[in-house]
Structure 1
Amino acid sequence: MFKTLHRRVKDLERRLNIPTGRDLSDPEDRRRATWHFHLMDHAFLRVLWTNFYPVTDGVYRSNQPSPQRLHRYAKLGIKTVLNLRGNTPLSYYLFEKEACAKLGMELIDIKFAARSLPTPESLIALEQVFRTIPKPFVMHCKSGADRAGFASALYLMMIEGRPVDEAARQLHWRFIHLKSTDTGVLDHFLRFYAREHARSGIALMDWVRNGYDRDEVTRSFRDWQAGKWSAQP
């Protein structure tokens, strides 16, 4: 059902084909960017729904913030925004970059996906960001459900040494994360690592550097979906 709904939404977006403005200093481009942000990036859904929650002391998660919401975050004392959608010259990023500059907030970009696993290099880069990012900070993706939840779980494991079963609670339906869809591959990353840790006691980043095979974990997710994969070590 969710795959069908997602496909229909994408088909509608392609038919609408609203262009994104590229230059916010140009009034016409800014108008295009505003329409694109609200209709194509679904900002109208996020006016009241923020998916904003604390992860741990000085660390928050949310969906894509608008400039107005970034202003509220700045008033809360948040210094840094970690954008998990990457540096893409589309409406949402242009508005976010402009607002952060005006508010004196640091914007850090790193690209993760909701339906596919990161490379070892991306995970190592994320850990480095986590170790150096000025706090308080908020991390976000588009909906604040999948990438933000995955990164929140990784923060708890990488930086605070929390156990995987505790960290995995960041991927939960209350954040609108659905384990039964393709985004469940993020849960399976944690599930797979938990099995490896139970076998050998290997630390997360040691496993990422020396044992993690993205293709193998992805294949095992398909096996898990088919009921052919065991979490037992």
Structure 2
Amino acid sequence: MPDLSSPIGRSRAWLNSLLVDHAVLRLSWRNWGVVEPGRLYRSNHPLPWQLAQAARRHGLRSVINLRGHRQSCGSDALGRARAGELGLIHADAPFESRGAPHRDRILRLAGLFAELPEPLLIHCKSGADRTGLVAGIWLLLQGRPVAAALDQLHWRFGHVSSSRTGILDAFFQAYGAHLVAHGPKPFLDWVREDYDEAALRQAFTSRAWADRLVDGVLRRE
């Protein structure tokens, strides 16, 4: 992790965050969303003052970083430090944006949701894909319909369902198809007993133009 104990270390962390991690694009673009008022909020990777503003405005108590701990990432170091200064609980729950969600990570996430005090903020880098996935999972854990989960993976957040990140949509759709075929079943029970990561990967196909947009133009993580 970048050393923030000295002015030089802080300067290096800021340069890395703004230029290498593209936080310069997040100076004005927040990609903010309210999943449920007073309980769960979503965004791209917040800069320190953005995290402080959100904490004051919404009374945040916890943050889940869906990128995971990144030792050499300035945004990671600055965000963790600010969360500590604000008295927020900071947890890591890394997910992929282009792969079938892993069962063990979903179950661990469900445990975090049960343990961490709310209101809670979830974020990845851009706030489009992994954040949408986890916001949708949270809604399903509250008993909300699959359509509500899918709405968290929406173009208004920058999500492109035709690209490889569309496998996240396919994950929710697989749960929905199971409900249609077999009747009601709690989401976590489906994850434990029926969800097939390999089958989801094999069945999903993206479109070349969308992959070029997301990977080549937008350069998503």
TM-score (norm 1): 0.83
1:65 aligns with 2:65: no
Structure 1 residue 203 displacement after superposition: 2.4
Q: Distance in 1 between matches of 2:189 and 2:20?
A: 40
From 127, 149, 159, the counterpart of 2:132: 149
Q: Distance in 2 between matches of 1:129 and 1:172?
A: 24
3-state secondary structure, aligned to 1:82: strand
RMSD: 1.6
AA partner of residue 147 (structure 1): R
Structure 1 residue 30 displacement after superposition: 2.2
4+ residue runs over 3 A deviation: none
1:87-142 deviation digits (Å, cap 9, x = unpaired): 12121111011101111111111101111122111110111111122111111010
Match of 2:26 in 1: 46
Match of 1:80 in 2: 62
Match of 2:181 in 1: 199
- Unmatched tracts of structure 2, length 5 or more: 209-221
8 Å CA contact retained: 1:197, 1:203: no
Larger Rg: 1
Q: Distance in 2 between matches of 1:141 and 1:163?
A: 24
Q: Distance in 1 between matches of 2:2 and 2:23?
A: 18
AA partner of residue 151 (structure 2): R
Q: Distance in 1 between matches of 2:179 and 2:104?
A: 20
8 Å CA contact retained: 2:124, 2:131: yes
Count of paired positions: 204
Query: Equivalences for 1:183-194 in 2 at 5 Å?
Result: 183-194=165-176
Residues 59-68 or 206-215, more deviating: 206-215
8 Å CA contact retained: 1:168, 1:190: yes
- Unmatched tracts of structure 1, length 5 or more: 1-20, 227-233
Query: Equivalences for 1:109-120 in 2 at 5 Å?
Result: 109-120=92-103
Counting aligned pairs with the same residue, the percent is: 38
Structure 1 residue 40 displacement after superposition: 1.2
Structure 1 residue 29 displacement after superposition: 2.7
AA partner of residue 166 (structure 1): A
